[in-house]
Amino acid sequence: MGQDPAYRSSKEKAYKLIKQAIITRAFAPGQFLSENELSNSFGVSRTPIREALQALEVEGFVTLIPHKGAQVAEISLKDLDEVYELRLVLERLAGQKLIERSNEICLQQMTDVLGVQTELAQRHQSVEFIAADREFHLALVRAAGNERLYRFYDSLRDHLLRLGLEAIQTPGRMAQVLVEHQAILAGLKEGSYAKFNDAITAHLSITKLAVGKNLPNLWRP
């Protein structure tokens, strides 16, 4: 027998609200979350809250500590290294495929998203800017024409959003991202893998460094 639809809806609501609060830093890394407080805040009973936290632990967003509760997961140096190492490998491959196939559809999608990002930067809408940033890179990865690769990259979306929001806290970073994205697009449109590779490598390296600057505990002394 399946779960009651109302219960399933409550669990999904709790899951989405808690994850969104973690991604947007309403719940900060290291913060302990009380089931009672979450229940009262979100208008959901404790059982769906508890199951939502268990699901978020599997995804790496919280750590369940016996007798203490759920703690928002810190972003470790290992997390940062692994995510950006994966991104560089996948996006380099996608760029190579895009150039080989002259994929105008993906290029236009990236161009359109860059236009949206420019408007969001002018309005200082950081959460929406990072969401659009993800769409820019997803359009690039889509160009590889590998559905499994695309689904794997997309599975990182919430962790990328969380890291992106850390990076964007650096003053002037949104304007800098626009310049870096323009360089990525220029290399792709010229059909120059060398220029694209230089641009994507620099972009991801600078982004990773920006995350580290806003989370100084990541870096080894």
| Amino acid identity at 42 | F
Which of 35, 1, 3 shows the shortest CA–CA distance to 18?
35
Does the global pTM surpass 0.95? no
Give average pLDDT by consecutive 10-residue segment, the chain, 221 residues: 64 92 87 93 92 92 90 85 91 94 92 97 91 92 89 82 79 94 97 98 93 63 37
Residue 3, pLDDT score: 54
**Among positive and negative, which fits the CA dihedral 142, 143, 145, 149?**
negative
- Ordered by where they begin, the domains of the chain are 5-72 (1.10.10.10), 77-218 (1.20.120.530)
Residue 144, pLDDT score: 87
Residue 197, pLDDT score: 98
Angle at 34 between CA 32 and CA 35, to 5 degrees: 140
